[in-house]
Chains A and B, each alone.
Chain A
Amino acid sequence: MSGDERYDAVIVGAGVAGALIAKRLTLAGFRVLVLEAGPATAASYEGYSNHLERFYEASGKGPESAWPPAANAPQPDTADLRQNNGYFVQNGPDLYGSSYTRLQGGSTLHWLGVSLRMLPDDFKLRSRYGVGRDWPLSYDDIEPFYRKAEEEIGVSADVADQKYHGLTFADGYDYPMQRVPLSYSDRKLAAAVDGLQVALDEAPVALKVRSYPAARNSTPRGSYRPLGAVDMREDGKAVERFFGQRCAGNTSCTPICPIQAKYNAGKTLAQADRNKLQVFAQAVASKIDIDTVTGEVQSVTYQRYQGISRSVYRAKARVYVLAAHAVENAKLMLASGLTGPKEMVGKTLMDHPALYAWGLAPETIGAFRGPLSTAGIEELRAGAFRAKHAAFRFDIGNDGWRATTGAPDTAVADAVAKNLFGRKLRDQLSSTLSRQVRFSLAIEQLPEPGNCVSIDPRYLDPLGNPRPVISYKIGEYTLAGMAAATKVYRQIFQRAGIEDFSDKSGSGWFPSVQYGEVTYRYHGMGHFSGTHAMGGDSSSSVVDSYQRSWNHRNLYLAGSGSFPTMGTSNPTLTLSALAIRTAERLISELTA
C-alpha cells in the first residue's frame, strides 16, 4: 500500500451526486478527491464521440449499448435478464429489471432526463396514508434545493404546467429554461383525451397530457445560459464546445444524446475548480476503514487498474462521501462490515416497476421524432387510493415501439418475412410505423425489508470485490397499482381510438408477475433507491436528513439510496437536491 495524501473530502463515485458535491466543495476552496470505479472514456469530446459510434454500430440498441462495461468495474445490463446471468446475482422471486452505468459521468450518460419534483404528499406517505414511511424532510424543506438543482442540471419547464397535486413554487420563480416543445403526437393525443374522466375508487379526475420538466436544453429564461457539450482534456482543462445548447431532436436521449443537450454529470464535473479537484478514474473503492473506537472513517481503500496492473491505495480525508449508486453504496458498506442500525444497509431496495402499453393510432402521429418523450399523464400520482394501492404516472413516448418490440427494425423484418417488397413494403411501413404509440406506466413501490442488496463471498468480480446479490419481490400494493394503471391506459386508448397491441406482439422476454388471473410483463426504470434510507433517528434509518451516517459521523451516503420512499418521480432531481443540501452542510462543517 502507498499514498497518504490528505484531502478535505474523498467522494466515491463521479456520477451526478458526487459531481454536484465535488463542484460545490472545490468552489468553496476545499480539496476533493473523487474515486471513480469505471473509466473516464466519456469525459473528452473525442471519447464521447467514440461512444456514439459504438451505439451506431451496436446490433442491439438498448440503454447500455453505447456504454460497455469495464471488466474490473462490471455493471448490470437489462439484456442479462433474458438469461439471468449478468453482474447481479438475482435470488428472486422476481427479477430486478434495472441497470446502471459505472463510468465517469455515471448513469446520467444514458438517463432520459425526466426531472419531476416529488409531491408534498410523497414525503409523508405513512402519516397521510398509513403505508411506507415518512421522510425526515418536508416538501417545504427541500423546495429551495429543488430550485438549485434545476439550475445546476438545467431543467426546462413552465411553472404554469407544474402546479398540481399541491406542488408549490417560490414566488416569481420559473424554471431556468422554457418547456421543451410538445411533440406533434402529444398534441394529437391531448386533443383526443384531455378532460377524460377516470375514477379509481373515489371522485373521478380529468386527465391531461402535460409537458414534464426535462434536463434537456431549451430556450433560456433571463440570464440563464444553457451548457452544451463539454470536452475535458487530458491536461485537466475543460473546454466548452459550442453546440448542444438546444435539444435538436435526435430521438436518442437513451442511450446517448449525441450533442449533450441533455444533462450528464460530466458537465458539473467540468465546472468544479480543477486546482482543488483530483479525479481518479479506474479507481475502485473496496473498503471503508473504520476506527473501531470512535466509529469514524479513517480511510478508504481503493484499487487502481490499468491494463494488467493492479495497485492498492488508501485515501484519507476529513470527511467521506459515498456517491457510488444505491446498490454500490450498500455493497461497499457491507463489504466493509458496516451494516448500519438494525442492519438496515442494503434493505428496502425499491424501483418503479413499469409496464409498457402500446398500440396503433388511427392516423399518423409522426412517431420516431423528437426527445424519447416530452409529456406525461400525472393525475394518478396522488389520491386517497394510495392507502390501498400504488400511485403511478404515464410517460408518453415519441419513439414508437422501439423499446417494446424493437421497431422499426423488427417491423421491417416481419414484413419482409411475409415477402412484402417494393412499393407495397415501403407503403405498409410508412402507414404503420408512423402511427405507433407507446406509454410507460411507472408504478410506485413501497420499502419492504425483504427487498435487498446483500453480498456473498461466493460471488466476486475480477478484482475480488463482491457482486450485488439481489432479493426482490413486487408486493401486493404495487401489483394492485399495475391493475389500476392498466385500466386507465385502456380507457385512454379507447377514447383516442388507439388499437391496443400490448398483448399481441413482442417483448415476450420481459420478466413477469402474476396478480390474480393476470400476468403483467414489467421492466425496471433504473430507479434504484432505499438502500441506506434517511430518517429522523438512528433507530429507524441509516442516515439523517443530510445523508450523514448515524453510526459513522464523518461519513455521508449520497444518492437515491437515501430515499425512505419513492413517490412517482424519477429520482435524479430529488437526489440532486439532496446532494446540494449535503454539500452546503459539508461546507459549513468543514469551515467551522
Chain B
Amino acid sequence: MRPMRERMDLFLGLSEVLTGFGRFQLLGTAMAGDYLRTLDVALPAGVLDELLAAYEQLPEEAAREAAVAAQILGEPKLGPVARNLILLWYCGTWTALPDNWRAAYGVSLLDITRVISSESYQAGLQWEAVGAHPAGSRQQGFGAWSLAPEGSSL
C-alpha cells in the first residue's frame, strides 16, 4: 500500500473531481480521514487503491471529464464505488454495493447502508449545494430564513 499521505492526497484529488467541491471545502468538513477509512473497511482489499490508481492515470484538463465517465464511472468494478463515494460526501451515508457487484468482486462485512456518524450527517455537502444547512444543525439564528438566498430576485 502507498504511504498514508500519498493516499490521502489522491483521495482528495479524486473526491474533488467527483463532487465538484474544492479541496479546501472538502478538508473543511473534517470528514476526509473518516471517509477514507470508511472505504477501506467497506470495500474488499485493494479496490480503493485500484480506484485511486485509475484517478492518477486520468488525462489532464480537456480530456478529463470524458475519461472520468469512461474509465471510472463507466467501469464495472470502479463505477459503483465512485458513485458511493459521491453519496458519502454529499449525504454522509454509505450505501451497500449492488448484489451483482458483491458477487463479482467480493464482500466486506461493513458494506452496509448506514449514516456513517452524527458528524457525517451534519457535514453532508448536499446542504452546501442547496444553499441551506443540515436540518437540525448549524442554525443561522432568528429570522435568517427571511434573507434572500443566493441567485434570488426579490
Interface residue tally on A, bucketed by range: 35 or more
B100 contacts chain A at the CB level, 8 A cutoff: no
A445 contacts chain B at the CB level, 8 A cutoff: no
B117 and A367 contacting across the interface, CB-CB below 8 Å = no
Q: Contacts A402-B135, A425-B19 given; indicate if A249 touches B153 (C-beta within 8 A).
A: no
Q: Contacts A250-B139, A425-B19 given; indicate if A59 touches B148 (C-beta within 8 A).
A: no
Q: Which of B68-126 contact A (CB under 8 A)?
A: 68-69, 73-74, 82-83, 86-87, 90-91, 93, 95, 113-115, 117-118, 121-122, 125-126
A249 and B145 contacting across the interface, CB-CB below 8 Å = yes
B57 contacts chain A at the CB level, 8 A cutoff: no
Q: Contacts A365-B149, A426-B19 given; indicate if A56 touches B115 (C-beta within 8 A).
A: yes
Report A-chain residues with C-beta under 8 Å of the C-beta of B7: none
Q: Which of B87, B132, B154 is A413 in contact with, Cβ under 8 Å?
A: B87
B141 contacts chain A at the CB level, 8 A cutoff: yes
A256 contacts chain B at the CB level, 8 A cutoff: yes
A26 to B102, CA, bound (A): 63
B144 contacts chain A at the CB level, 8 A cutoff: yes
A318 to B150, CA, bound (A): 62
Report A-chain residues with C-beta under 8 Å of the C-beta of B113: 59
A61 contacts chain B at the CB level, 8 A cutoff: yes
Q: Which of A402, A421, A433 is B129 in contact with, Cβ under 8 Å?
A: A433
CB 8 Å contact bits of A485-512 with B (1 = contact, 0 = none): 0000000000000000000000000000
Report B-chain residues with C-beta under 8 Å of the C-beta of A371: 145
A182 to B154, CA, bound (A): 14
B18 contacts chain A at the CB level, 8 A cutoff: yes
Report A-chain residues with C-beta under 8 Å of the C-beta of B137: 56, 250, 258
A416 and B86 contacting across the interface, CB-CB below 8 Å = yes
A364 and B131 contacting across the interface, CB-CB below 8 Å = yes
Q: How many residues of B contact A (CB 8 A)?
A: 52
Instruction: Choose among A363, A369, A398, A434 the residue with the greatest number of B CB atoms under 10 Å from its CB.
Output: A369
Report B-chain residues with C-beta under 8 Å of the C-beta of A247: 142
Q: Contacts A408-B126, A412-B90 given; indicate if A426 touches B144 (C-beta within 8 A).
A: no
B28 contacts chain A at the CB level, 8 A cutoff: no
In the assembled complex, how far is the CB of residue A56 from the closest CB belonging to chain B, in whole angstroms?
A: 4
Q: Which of A191, A252, A366, A423 is B131 in contact with, Cβ under 8 Å?
A: A366
Q: Which of A181, A374, A399, A421 is B17 in contact with, Cβ under 8 Å?
A: A421
Task: Identify whether the interface residues of A are mostly helix, strand, loop, or mixed.
Answer: loop
Q: Which of B126, B127, B139 is A248 in contact with, Cβ under 8 Å?
A: B139
A400 to B149, CA, bound (A): 14
Q: Which of A59, A256, A259, A368 is B93 in contact with, Cβ under 8 Å?
A: A59
B65 contacts chain A at the CB level, 8 A cutoff: yes
B3 contacts chain A at the CB level, 8 A cutoff: no
Q: Which of A59, A181, A368 is B143 in contact with, Cβ under 8 Å?
A: A181
Report B-chain residues with C-beta under 8 Å of the C-beta of A416: 83, 86-87, 90
Report B-chain residues with C-beta under 8 Å of the C-beta of A430: 129-131
Q: Which of A365-380 contact B (CB under 8 A)?
A: 365-371, 374
Nearest CB in chain B to that of A261: its residue: B142
A246 to B142, CA, bound (A): 6
A259 to B138, CA, bound (A): 11
Q: Contacts A368-B130, A421-B68 given; indicate if A56 touches B150 (C-beta within 8 A).
A: no
Report B-chain residues with C-beta under 8 Å of the C-beta of A365: 149, 152
Nearest CB in chain B to that of A366: its residue: B149
In the assembled complex, how far is the CB of residue B38 from the closest CB belonging to chain A, in whole angstroms?
A: 14
A589 to B71, CA, bound (A): 81
Nearest CB in chain A to that of B122: its residue: A56
Q: Which of B86, B90, B125, B147 is A184 in contact with, Cβ under 8 Å?
A: B147
B151 and A363 contacting across the interface, CB-CB below 8 Å = yes
A55 to B134, CA, bound (A): 12
In the assembled complex, how far is the CB of residue A240 from the closest CB belonging to chain B, in whole angstroms?
A: 19
Report B-chain residues with C-beta under 8 Å of the C-beta of A258: 136-137, 139
CB 8 Å contact bits of A47-58 with B (1 = contact, 0 = none): 000001101111
Question: Can you pick out 21 interface pairs between chain A and chain B where the beta carbons lie within 8 Å of each other?
Answer: A56-B118, A182-B146, A184-B146, A184-B149, A248-B140, A250-B136, A256-B136, A364-B131, A366-B148, A368-B127, A368-B133, A369-B144, A408-B91, A409-B126, A413-B91, A416-B90, A421-B69, A425-B19, A429-B126, A434-B131, A434-B149
User: What 4 pairs between A and B have smallest CB-CB spacing?
Assistant: A370-B145, A366-B149, A426-B20, A252-B136
Which residues of chain A have a CB within 8 Å of any CB of chain B? Answer: 52-53, 55-59, 61, 181-184, 187-188, 191, 218, 246-252, 256, 258-259, 363-371, 374, 398-400, 402, 408-409, 411-413, 416-417, 419, 421-427, 429-430, 433-434
